[in-house]
Structure 1
Amino acid sequence: MDRRHLLAGGAALAASATVLPARAASAAPTPAAPSPQLPSRAAIVGVLRRVADQWIGTHGNSGDNGWANATFFSGLLAVYRLTGEAAYLTYARRWAEKHAYGLNGGVNTRHADNHNAGQAYLDLYEIEPSAQKLTAIEASLRRMVYTDQPAKNDDWWWDDALHMAMPPFARLGRLRGDTQYWEKLYSLYQHTKRVRGGPGLYDAATGLWYRDDRFLPGGIVSPGGRPVVWSRGNGWVAGGHVKTLKALPASERHVAEYRSTLAQLVTAVAKVQRTDGFWNVNLADPAHLPGPETSGTSFFVYGTAYAVATGLVARATYLPVAARAWNGLVATAVHPDGFLGYVQKVGDRPESSQPVTYGSTADFGVGAFLLAGSELAALAT
Structure 2
Amino acid sequence: MDRRHLLVGGAALSAFAALLPLHSAAAAPARSAAAPPSGAAIIRDLRRVADHWIGAHTDPGDNGWANATFFSGLLALHRLTGSPRYLAYARGWAEKHAYGLRGGVTTRHADNHNAGQAYLDLYEIEPEEQKLAAIEESLHRMVYTDQPAKHDDWWWDDALHMAMPPFARIGALRKDPQYWQKLYALYDHTKRTEGGPGLYDAGTGLWYRDKRFLPGGIVSPTGRPVIWSRGNGWVAGGHVKTLKALPRSERHTAEYRETLTRLVTALATVQRTDGFWNVNLADPGHLPGPETSGTSFFLYGTAYAIRARLVDRSAFLPVAVRAWHGLVTTAVHPDGFLGYVQKVGDRPESNQPVTYDSTSDFGVGAFLLAGTELARLAR
Q: TM-score, normalised by structure 1?
A: 0.91
| Equivalence map 1:105-124=2 (5 Å) | 105-124=103-122
Q: What is the CA deviation profile of residues 124-162 of structure 1, one whole-angstrom value per residue up to 9, with x for unaligned ones? A: 000000000000000000000000000000000000000
| Equivalence map 1:1-381=2 (5 Å) | 35-381=33-379
Where does structure 1 lack aligned partners over 5 or more consecutive residues? 1-33
Is the partner of 2:378 in helix, strand or coil?
Answer: coil
Q: What is the CA deviation profile of residues 94-118 of structure 1, one whole-angstrom value per residue up to 9, with x for unaligned ones? A: 0000000000000000000000000
Decide whether the 8 Å contact of 1:35 with 1:327 is kept in 2: no
State the AA in 2 paired with 1:185.
L
Instruction: Pick closer, same or farther for the CA change 1:121–1:300 going to 2, 3 Å.
Output: same
User: 1:242: Cα distance to partner?
Assistant: 0.1
Partner Cα separation in structure 2 for residue 52 and residue 38 of structure 1: 21
Is the partner of 1:260 in helix, strand or coil?
Answer: helix
User: 1:38: Cα distance to partner?
Assistant: 1.1
Q: How big is the alpha-carbon RMSD for the aligned residues of Structure 1 and Structure 2?
A: 0.8
Partner Cα separation in structure 2 for residue 313 and residue 35 of structure 1: 17
Aligned residue number for residue 4 of structure 2 = none
Decide whether the 8 Å contact of 1:214 with 1:220 is kept in 2: yes
Is the partner of 1:197 in helix, strand or coil?
Answer: coil
State the AA in 2 paired with 1:39.
P
Partner Cα separation in structure 2 for residue 37 and residue 279 of structure 1: 20
State the AA in 2 paired with 1:119.
Q
Decide whether the 8 Å contact of 1:36 with 1:321 is kept in 2: no
Partner Cα separation in structure 2 for residue 36 and residue 170 of structure 1: 36
Q: TM-score, normalised by structure 2?
A: 0.91
Is the partner of 1:379 in helix, strand or coil?
Answer: helix
Decide whether the 8 Å contact of 1:302 with 1:375 is kept in 2: yes
User: 1:36: Cα distance to partner?
Assistant: 3.6
Is the partner of 2:99 in helix, strand or coil?
Answer: coil
Is the partner of 1:38 in helix, strand or coil?
Answer: coil
Q: What is the CA deviation profile of residues 238-295 of structure 1, one whole-angstrom value per residue up to 9, with x for unaligned ones? A: 0000000000001000000000000000000000000100000000000000000000
Is the partner of 1:159 in helix, strand or coil?
Answer: coil
Partner Cα separation in structure 1 for residue 163 and residue 215 of structure 2: 26
Partner Cα separation in structure 1 for residue 61 and residue 375 of structure 2: 28
Partner Cα separation in structure 1 for residue 186 and residue 266 of structure 2: 24
Aligned residue number for residue 10 of structure 1 = none
Partner Cα separation in structure 2 for residue 35 and residue 272 of structure 1: 16
Partner Cα separation in structure 1 for residue 123 and residue 314 of structure 2: 37
Where does structure 2 lack aligned partners over 5 or more consecutive residues? 1-31
User: 1:35: Cα distance to partner?
Assistant: 4.7
State the AA in 1 paired with 2:217.
G
Partner Cα separation in structure 1 for residue 340 and residue 191 of structure 2: 29
Partner Cα separation in structure 1 for residue 33 and residue 259 of structure 2: 28
Partner Cα separation in structure 2 for residue 251 and residue 107 of structure 1: 30
Partner Cα separation in structure 2 for residue 151 and residue 53 of structure 1: 44
State the AA in 2 paired with 1:361.
T
Partner Cα separation in structure 2 for residue 354 and residue 255 of structure 1: 37
User: 1:63: Cα distance to partner?
Assistant: 0.2
Aligned length: 348
Is the partner of 2:241 in helix, strand or coil?
Answer: helix
